Amino acid sequence: MNGNPYLFAAYAVTWIIHIAYISTIVSRYSRLKREISELKRRDVRS
């Protein structure tokens, strides 16, 4: 197999898209975890 720029671009773009989407899931999950601990903290105080 020779290094083909189109082949490299297609494979790279595929993984960039998937990694970008997974990053959004991870960031939404950490934001939600912060929200849950804030809710728990308020619940303990009350």
The amino acid present at 18, given as its one-letter code, is: H
Is the CA virtual torsion 38, 40, 44, 46 positive or negative? Answer: positive
Chain positions 1 to 46 lying near other proteins, rule: CB under 8 A, are 1-2, 4, 6-7, 9-11, 13-14, 17-18, 21-22, 25, 28-29, 32, 35-36, 39, 42, 46
Cα separation of 18 and 21, whole Å?
Answer: 5
Binding site for other proteins (CB under 8 A): 1-2, 4, 6-7, 9-11, 13-14, 17-18, 21-22, 25, 28-29, 32, 35-36, 39, 42, 46
